[in-house]
Amino acid sequence: MPYELLILLSMLAVFALSVFLLKLPSGVALVLSAIVGALVGGEGVPLRHLVEGSFGYLDAILIIATAMIFMKVLDGSGALGTLGHLLMKSLYRWPTVLFIFISFFVMFPGMLTGLSSACILTTGALVAPAMLAMRIPAPAVGSFIAMMAVYGMIAPPINIPVMIIGGGVDMPYIGFERPLALASFPLALIVALYYRIRYVRSIQIEEVLSRLPAPLHAKHGLKLFAPLVLVVVLMIAIRVVPQYMPDIGIPLIFMLGSLVGLVTGERIDFWQTSRTAIREALPVMVILVGVGMFVQIMTLTGVRGFLAVGALNLPPAFLYLGIALLMPAFGSAYASASVLGVPLVYVFLGKNEIVVTSALSLIAGIGDLMPPPMLLCAFASQIVGEKNPFQILKRSVPFIVLSLIAAIAMIAFADSVVKLY
């Protein structure tokens, strides 16, 4: 048995035992796996590498923290609730259009934060009562919200799995907007149209609106949406007109939006709101710290190179099937992106690496639905009142299969996909 394979198996075994048997958080399990990998590799406990790895994804951690604060400020100010109310009231006569906008509305927090859970905890929680009022079964509503959370995490402008993979292969986060849009928006559109055709004929708007928060635009005017407008304008400006708008960094943009939100809507306790946001985002930030250590030790012990070389020797059919089955099996988009996503980019060096990385992030994102953690299914079940998260996963299986097929097709025809945009 190759020595690198022994190290990898020991790391994966510790990760599996920590998550499945000891029920430890995924971030803690990754840290323990990294330490064991270093010990088995004869490196002892390399503190320098562990600390260096823990800061490997500091930019992504800052984005998550500040973006969650921004979303909580939008929620507390009444902007999100007002948007949901106006959306339903304006489009209920055209259910097809309404469902398309609902899907993008649920995806929106994930697009800004890179967190799938943010979609469920904010906009997902807002639209779930309205969808239940449309007589859609609770497991189906939970599946809808969970799938939109995955697509929101994958959609531009922020995609954390791509940042993780890019950080491992020294690929800058530039030029991903179009391939990520191609990997997420068409699938979200298909799911939205399916739900519209399958479950909704007409909408009783009075019952739906009674389930939503009261709108506040009459009280605060258009300034209620000023934080959102500011963030969107700044994000566009640093890309479109960099000669006039210096890149001040996405975390600072989110913080500026949060500060503006303090004076545009309902009164907010910024300190308490920030604490709540960081508390909810902390498990994901810990995962990124663990991922950084894991990748650093894989590099130190030669495991990353071993995986890349080994994958190159696999027949294409087995390689694609293995990607579709193994990447989601990690149960975490971030763990999957770090362990398999990084070496797989090297495997497909002959193809357009931006398209390949975008597709790999979609496959990794499916992992957030998978057992044992079933993070998104568990959150969605709480939102819709479904006691069994597996019912939500069961309803999601057709969309999961469709997403995997689309991602594999993007990888297989990466050079042709580039011509589509």
The model's pLDDT over 126-145, given as tens digits with 9 standing for 90+, comes to: 888 888 888 899 999 999 99
* pLDDT recorded at residue 112: 84
* pLDDT recorded at residue 140: 95
* pLDDT recorded at residue 113: 81
Torsion of CA 410, 411, 413, 419, to 10 degrees: 60
pLDDT in tens, 1-55: 688 889 988 998 998 898 778 888 878 888 999 999 999 999 999 999 999 988 8
Other C-beta atoms within 10 Å of 25: how many?
16
The domain containing residue 38 runs over which residues?
A: 3-418
Q: Is 10 exposed, middle or buried (0-12, 13-18, 19+ CB in 10 A)?
A: middle
Residue indicated by tokens 């009231």 = 89
* pLDDT recorded at residue 308: 66
CA dist., res. 276 & res. 87, Å (int): 27
* pLDDT recorded at residue 421: 63
For the chain, the domain total comes to 1
Angle (CA) 383-386-389 rounded to 5° is: 95
For the question of whether the overall pTM of this predicted structure is more than 0.75, the answer is yes
* pLDDT recorded at residue 396: 95
* pLDDT recorded at residue 358: 95
Contacts of residues 83-92 at CB distance under 8 Å and 24 or more positions apart, as own/partner, are 83/225, 84/123, 84/126, 84/127, 84/130, 84/212, 84/213, 85/209, 85/212, 85/213, 85/214, 85/215, 86/215, 86/217, 88/130, 88/205, 88/208, 88/209, 88/212, 89/205, 89/209, 92/203, 92/205, 92/208
| Mean pLDDT per 10-residue segment, the chain (421 residues) | 85 86 83 93 91 84 86 89 87 92 92 85 84 90 95 93 87 91 96 94 83 84 90 83 83 92 92 91 82 86 76 74 83 79 83 94 92 78 84 94 96 85 63
